[in-house]
Amino acid sequence: MKLIVGLGNPGKQYEKTRHNIGFMFLDEIAKEHNLTFKLQTKFKGATALLRLDQDYILLKPLTFMNLSGEAVKLVMNYYDIALEDILIIHDELALPTGKLKIKPKGSSGGHNGVQNIIDNLDSEEFARIRIGIDNFKEDIIDYVLGKFSRKEMKLLAPIIEDAPNMISYLDKQGLEKFMSYYNTKYNE
């Protein structure tokens, strides 16, 4: 069993906001595979089971972004998932909109949701897909909680639409080849 976590905030008012790119990524996977997320209060999140060559729990923490680690830890412990079998998808201010960077591990880079996961798991040893949302030097909170413009959505659409293929590629090829291929594809 592996765990794929899309970070975001619950509630209609946060749909299609920059901070919810992780939820959008998982929603596209669920749509492609006809999956429905189920509220799991014991996990403080909504989950769906994706069956490929391996089984994946898709998790949307419903704790709000800055407490995401609580939900991740609950699912990780319940299913006895190893750190190397966790993938976090989140927004990244340090990357231009429409670019992404896959990392096998590392610091939070100032992302509070990722930092909370690091704090709860007491480790940085998990992979993540950082999806660029740019940084226009506005008030950061207002910016990340703001809705994507049409132009931004056009730049992000290829990544979101590719989400199911990305996870299938990861499932078949492993993390190293996955990183090499997609870090090149979305940064040319």
Number of domains in the chain: 1
Using 50, 70 and 90 to split pLDDT, how confident is the model at 70?
Answer: very high
Q: Looking at the predicted structure, is the pLDDT value of residue 129 above 80?
A: yes
What does the pLDDT average to over 39-63?
Answer: 98
CA distances 49 to 35, 62, 93, Å, are 7, 17, 30
- 111 catalytic, yes or no? no
CA distances 92 to 12, 80, 143, Å, are 22, 28, 12
pLDDT > 90 in the chain, percent: 91
Domain of 99 in residue numbering reads as 2-185
Q: Looking at the predicted structure, is the pLDDT value of residue 73 above 90?
A: yes
Q: Of residues 19, 33, 90, 111, which has the active-site annotation?
A: 19
pLDDT of amino acid 87: 99
Q: Looking at the predicted structure, is the pLDDT value of residue 65 above 90?
A: yes
Using 50, 70 and 90 to split pLDDT, how confident is the model at 38?
Answer: very high
Identify the CATH number of the domain in which residue 125 sits.
Answer: 3.40.50.1470
Using one digit for the tens of pLDDT, what is the confidence trace for 130-184?
999 998 767 888 888 889 999 999 999 999 999 999 999 999 999 999 999 999 9
Backbone angles phi and psi of 128, in degrees to 5: -150, 150
pLDDT of amino acid 128: 98
Q: Looking at the predicted structure, is the pLDDT value of residue 187 above 90?
A: no
What does the pLDDT average to over 55-83?
Answer: 98
CA distances 112 to 33, 65, 108, Å, are 30, 7, 7
Q: What is the pTM of this model?
A: 0.96
Which of residues 62 and 140 earns the better pLDDT score?
A: 62
